[in-house]
Structure 1
Amino acid sequence: MKKIIEILRENNLEELSQTQLDRLKASEREKIEKDSTRLYTRSLYTREGILYFVAKEDGEKSLYLCSHRVLPEDFTGQVEQFGDLFLKKAPFSTDNAATLRTVFPFTAPVSLREKRTTIGCGDRLGIASAAHIRAIRKYQAYPVLAQQSIRELNFTNRTFKRIVADAGFQVFQEGYEDGWGADGDHLKSIEDVDTALQAGMPMITLDLTETLHPEAVRWDEPKIEEEFGELPQAVRKHIDQEYRDLVFENRGVTVRLPRLEARRCALMYLDALDFAALMDRHIREHRGEAYDLEISIDETSTATLPGHHLFIIRELRRRGVTVNSLAPRFIGEFQKGVDYIGNLEEFEGQFAVHCAIAQAHGDYKISIHSGSDKFSVYPAIGRYTHHRLHLKTAGTSWVEAIRTIARTEPELYRRMHKKAQDFFPEALKSYHISADISGLPDINTLRDSQLEEYLDISESRQMLHISYGGLLRDSEIRGPFFKALSDHEELHETIIRKHMEKHLSKLGVKKR
């Protein structure tokens, strides 16, 4: 820790007031370096005679506390004394993250229900949030930095507490005090929701897949009438009275829900909507009103028809569910890590209807799942939502991290590429994509300078995108991969920041 003390004394940091530190943080000087040791200037805060900051020493980031008096034991870590200064190195542990939240509440995630534009960042590695913050703080948008599904946690050997901690430390590193979210993504059970709530996650994305009855979409009229007749009389009466040839009109949009289709919707969705109401009450009991519930109906094999969207939101409102955002399945293909696949005019026409429905029923956010890299449809999404939206990204930052490897560590990239090819059949069991990797260029024939081209070919980009589980659990890859990203931290953050800025710009989000 000697180099860190030298940085502090050479810059007189331990003697500066918070006002003086804020002037330094507002400058273009993002870090102070001495040899291989780096102090992140935006993390400089003083509280009750203690200077707090994030620094990187020997390739490892930690939280540091410095004072002229003996340091409190709230934070666990190693303490050394240098003359009249005490310095504590507190590792980025979940316990230290919890303590940090008590001292600096802005490092805790909050509800973003009142924020117009929110971006799910999905940092699978736990080291990209700083770059996400640097991009988003330039725009009139707010980040959901800690966003992971149970599937992602299993593939990366992380926990909800870990991802909240990782994001919180980077929030502190960047001195970001505008508010950020944390999302337990695609949760299907009360047990998983409780795990996310216990980790302090204010946003829950409730995946209704397992309580839906999608088979009803294929039933003919006699089958629908037969199954509908098995529902309780009170339910049948409500559906027939409430949806008797319903016509919805708003912003020049007309949606009709005929009697037969309303009955089909009842058979498809009512169980799922009852489950959503149960979960909404459960979350409210734990968090009061400080939560963001997203309803996900996008994990289906067919697009969500506007009439079905109308039925779903009317029934959710009838049940008193507080809907912050809703994710329909849109027409066309929203596959992982690549642009929209489908007819743009057809998408725009149907998307406008979904937005009109949302705006007339509480103006909840339309949520775009698998939303990264869909640059061709972003202008329409921004226009029709008036930027009241939630965009979910996740794997794109993982893929762009691999771009850093392709540029700087070609041999490591080659090993990752070959292992991704081997793991690809297994990865396909968890993700639906249409990539055919059989026609990819043979990596053995490419020069090192050509490797980055794989990140711009849809098939190889998708292959790498969904193979993260196999790669990150591979002992031959994991250590060298994270070391390379640490060694090339500035390039990694620049690539991620620019990629996220491209998303915000294409959506038409205004700059601050």
Structure 2
Amino acid sequence: MLPIEKLTFGVGDRFAHQAGAQLQAFEQIAADGVDVTPVWNKSNREHTFVGSQPQSVYDAAEVAVQQRGWDKAWHVDADHIQLATVDAFLPCSDFFTIDVADSIGKPAAAADIAAFVDGHPELIGTLELEGLSAPLEVTREMVQAVAEQYLLAVQEAGKIYQHIIADKGADKTIAEISMDETDSPQTPPELLVILAAIADQNVPIQTIAPKFTGRFNKGVDYVGDLKQFEQEFNDDVAVIAHAVKTYGLPETLKLSVHSGSDKFSLYPIIHECLKRTGAGLHIKTAGTTWLEEIIGLSEAGGDGLALAKEIYAYALEHVEEFCAPYASVIDIDEAKLPSAETVNGWSGEELASAVRHIQGNPNFNPHMRQLLHVSFKVAAKHGDRYTGLLKANAEIVGREVTKNIYERHLRPLFLGSANPGQGGTV
């Protein structure tokens, strides 16, 4: 397999214009003494909405790496792929987020389930794993129930992985399994059973993305019980460490946090866990860079501000359409969305401050931010007009992109800096 670095950070770039500005943030955190590897990601759904091809992600990243002289590792993620969609990503990706959500809850063959349960007596009983908040109490019935819920999904992941390495070879492949886009979170005991099943399928995953308790809404902070998340996250880290030793999974295996952008209240918890345990982390962001483009164009004024207002007005007219694909990861109160007429009267700074995620700013509007987050295909409709304005205002837009990733994300996560989302900059 291709070994993954200890700390990796997924960055989305909807329109493939910000790779250089994104990379600058990784240069800055490296100058602070922490190596974080950029992983450019874009899903098949996003390519479909924008009308782009997977190769465009690799090409933009490669140009940025060459122009900036980046001499450290970097990757391109085939994000949330399935067997039906993976082929277009094979020539240009080395990181594969295998999404098996559609198979979760569908039972595998009864004989396979019985064989799995019989083959893992070590999972049953009181499990005292190093680093756990409390011993895991696991019954045979629980293992049976988890196998009925997840074994078919793990088998599907095995098929997809074999399809990938048949084309690329294992030595050019980093595998992640994603189980976050489901209705119910996976508990630490369930994660342990799932990891045992993954090992049985001979999938050398290096990151796993479970669904955590609470809401991970797009582009805004975590909603949920912080104490519960802290226990869950720390216990998951302990479970992974145990599974690596017990089942021969790669030593590089680590947790992946999807929709991780802007989860400012979680960053201190994650930072303390990584500091205490020495564990690795993959955290994935996506639409936050597109939002920084809107912020930058707003602050640029003129044609950039005019287009930002047009995009919002169109999104406001199509709330249900744009929100439907993301219904499980957004929470918008339409009554709190300002009218297009109101926004048309705003200055560039007023629009930027409404969208920029500074919770201490009284002008910040999380409902407006979430709507714009899922409305990127409006910009795609404007084609060259939108991308032309990005080029014309590259300096101001790029500054916002770099600042967002470095100050609001990388520093709090990996240096434990003050939380900028609560009002202010680092």
With normalisation by structure 1, the TM-score equals 0.71
Higher helix share: 2
Q: Indicate if the aligned counterparts of 2:117 and 2:140 stay in contact, CA closer than 8 A.
A: no
Aligned equivalents of 1:119 and 1:318: distance in 2?
28
Q: Indicate if the aligned counterparts of 1:133 and 1:143 stay in contact, CA closer than 8 A.
A: no
RMSD of aligned residue pairs (Cα, Å):
2.3
Match of 1:472 among 379, 382, 387: 379
- Write the letter of the residue equivalent to 1:447: W
Worse-matched range after superposition: 314-323 or 295-304: 314-323
Aligned equivalents of 1:289 and 1:317: distance in 2?
18
Aligned equivalents of 2:323 and 2:60: distance in 1?
28
Higher RCO by CA contacts (8 Å cutoff, separation 6 or greater) = 2
Change (3 A) 1:232 1:187: closer
**Identity of counterpart residues, as a percentage?**
27
Matches within 5 A, 1:496-507: 496-502=401-407, 503-507=409-413
SS at match of 1:121: strand
Match of 2:86 among 193, 203, 207: 193
SS at match of 1:124: coil
Residue of structure 2 equivalent to 1:271: 152
Residue of structure 2 equivalent to 1:220: none
- Write the letter of the residue equivalent to 2:47: L
Aligned equivalents of 2:336 and 2:137: distance in 1?
46
Aligned equivalents of 1:498 and 1:156: distance in 2?
25
Residue of structure 1 equivalent to 2:11: 121
Match of 1:380 among 269, 273, 286: 269
Aligned equivalents of 1:307 and 1:195: distance in 2?
36
Aligned equivalents of 1:148 and 1:115: distance in 2?
20
Change (3 A) 1:302 1:434: same
Match of 1:260 among 141, 154, 166: 141
Number of equivalences: 384
Aligned equivalents of 2:191 and 2:117: distance in 1?
21
SS at match of 2:76: strand
SS at match of 2:203: coil
- Is 2:373 the partner of 1:460? no
Higher strand share: 1
Residue of structure 2 equivalent to 1:421: 316
Find the structure with the greater CA-based Rg. 1
Cα deviation per residue 1:409-461 (whole Å; 9 max; x = unaligned)?
A: 32222111101112221112210211112222334234314222320311000
Residue of structure 1 equivalent to 2:59: 165
Change (3 A) 1:422 1:237: closer
Q: Indicate if the aligned counterparts of 1:121 and 1:143 stay in contact, CA closer than 8 A.
A: no
Change (3 A) 1:232 1:381: closer
Aligned equivalents of 1:160 and 1:233: distance in 2?
37
CA positional deviation for 1:195:
2.0
- Write the letter of the residue equivalent to 2:5: K
CA positional deviation for 1:242:
4.5
Matches within 5 A, 1:322-333: 322-333=204-215
SS at match of 2:229: helix
Match of 2:396 among 481, 491, 497: 491
SS at match of 1:250: coil
Matches within 5 A, 1:393-412: 393-408=285-300, 409-412=304-307
Aligned equivalents of 1:233 and 1:318: distance in 2?
12
Question: Structure 1: where are the runs of 5+ without partners?
Answer: 1-109, 217-226
Aligned equivalents of 1:141 and 1:327: distance in 2?
22
Residue of structure 1 equivalent to 2:127: 247
Aligned equivalents of 1:233 and 1:353: distance in 2?
26
Matches within 5 A, 1:45-444: 111=2, 113-139=3-29, 140-189=34-83, 191-199=84-92, 201-213=93-105, 230-231=110-111, 235=115, 238=118, 241-245=121-125, 247-253=127-133, 254-285=135-166, 286-362=168-244, 363=251, 364-385=253-274, 386=278, 388-408=280-300, 409-432=304-327, 433-444=330-341
Aligned equivalents of 1:167 and 1:387: distance in 2?
27
Cα deviation per residue 1:192-247 (whole Å; 9 max; x = unaligned)?
A: 22221123x11100001122117x8xxxxxxxxxx99x445852662573533352
Residue of structure 2 equivalent to 1:447: 346
CA positional deviation for 1:404:
0.9
Change (3 A) 1:510 1:340: closer
Aligned equivalents of 2:35 and 2:51: distance in 1?
30
Residue of structure 2 equivalent to 1:64: none
Question: Structure 2: where are the runs of 5+ without partners?
Answer: 245-250, 356-363, 418-426
Q: Indicate if the aligned counterparts of 1:379 and 1:508 stay in contact, CA closer than 8 A.
A: no
Worse-matched range after superposition: 315-324 or 372-381: 315-324
Change (3 A) 1:372 1:205: same
- Write the letter of the residue equivalent to 1:238: D
Aligned equivalents of 2:366 and 2:112: distance in 1?
50
Aligned equivalents of 1:510 and 1:441: distance in 2?
35
